[in-house]
């Protein structure tokens, strides 16, 4: 079961103190989808790994509400003009929280890889929220960001390239763009850097290209 706990946070943008729910422990007994979306038995932990300030909409993980947060005047301005109006309409869903966190990460000029991860999680939340249209929207945005990170010289660790190339293919497949998916699955072979350790990625790419499955295992 997923265990949640109430925590107290202080917003580095508008200084308001607020309470949020955080994940103490979770499980992966719900299986793993072929886009690496791990599901828990019981409550899904994802929406509780990102926190949103109800006052201004600033969003991020717990550490983004500590001294470590990189909050520039420009970031504050963008949060106030673009996120605050959304936050004022009421509590955000999991996918909306991740979308806000992805915007914050982008405004902080964080690596595309980091922004892509947040967008992917927004898509995963949409699956649980039953919003197919929004799910596709976030899958496309995540795919583009992962592509951007793969294109940059050191945006992705060598040993991660094959897995992320596979993931981009799988994201396109799940948006219904089989031609694009195939192009990316076909590239996985060349990106493998440890044939023994990454044979599973080659197998997964072949599987998803020829006879796709929704779940691993």
Q: Kindly identify the residues of this chain, within the stretch 32-91, that bind Zn ion according to CB under 5 A.
A: 53, 55-56, 58
Residues 6+ apart with CB under 8 A from 109: none
Nearer to Zn ion by Cβ, of 73 and 130: the residue is: 73
Nearer to Zn ion by Cβ, of 103 and 140: the residue is: 103
Cα 59 from Cα 37, distance rounded (Å): 21
- Residue 185 and residue 169 in contact, taking contact as beta carbons nearer than 8 Å: yes
Nearer to Zn ion by Cβ, of 56 and 123: the residue is: 56
Cα 74 from Cα 191, distance rounded (Å): 38
Minimum Å gap between C-beta 134 and Zn ion is 24
Q: x/- contact string, 8-27, with Zn ion (CB under 5 A)? A: ---x-xx-------------
Residue 212, interface with Zn ion (CB under 5 A)? no
Cα angle, residue 131 at apex, residues 130 and 135 outer, rounded to 5°: 115
- b/e code 98-112 from CB counts within 10 Å (16+ = b): bbbbbbbbbbbeebb
Cα 119 from Cα 171, distance rounded (Å): 11
Minimum Å gap between C-beta 56 and Zn ion is 3
Residue 126, interface with Zn ion (CB under 5 A)? no
**Size of residue set near Zn ion by CB under 5 A:** 7
Residue 92, interface with Zn ion (CB under 5 A)? no
Nearer to Zn ion by Cβ, of 49 and 71: the residue is: 71
Nearer to Zn ion by Cβ, of 53 and 127: the residue is: 53
Residues 6+ apart with CB under 8 A from 63: 69
Q: For the chain, what is the total number of helices (H) and then of strands (E)? A: 8, 4
Minimum Å gap between C-beta 59 and Zn ion is 9
Minimum Å gap between C-beta 173 and Zn ion is 38
- By CB under 5 A, name the binding residues for Zn ion: 11, 13-14, 53, 55-56, 58
């Amino acid at each position: 079961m997923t265990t949640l706990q109430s925590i107290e946070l202080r917003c580095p943008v508008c200084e308001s103190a607020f309470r949020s729910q955080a994940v103490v422990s979770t499980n992966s007994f719900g299986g793993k989808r072929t886009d690496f979306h791990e599901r828990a038995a019981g409550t899904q932990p994802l929406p509780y790994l990102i926190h949103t300030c109800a006052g201004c909409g600033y969003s991020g993980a717990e550490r983004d509400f500590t001294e470590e947060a990189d909050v520039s005047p420009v970031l504050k301005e963008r949060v106030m003009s673009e996120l605050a109006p959304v936050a004022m309409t009421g509590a955000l869903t999991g996918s909306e929280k991740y979308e806000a966190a992805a915007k914050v990460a982008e405004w902080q000029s964080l690596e595309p890889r980091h922004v892509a991860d947040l967008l992917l999680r927004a898509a995963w939340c949409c699956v649980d929220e039953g919003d197919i249209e929004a799910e596709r929207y976030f899958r496309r945005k995540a795919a583009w960001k992962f592509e951007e990170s793969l294109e940059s010289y050191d945006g992705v660790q060598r040993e991660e390239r094959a897995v992320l190339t596979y993931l981009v293919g799988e994201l396109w497949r799940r948006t219904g763009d089989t031609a694009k998916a195939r192009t990316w699955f076909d590239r996985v072979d060349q990106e493998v850097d440890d044939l023994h350790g990454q044979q599973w990625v080659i197998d997964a790419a072949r599987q998803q290209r020829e006879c796709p499955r929704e779940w691993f295992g």
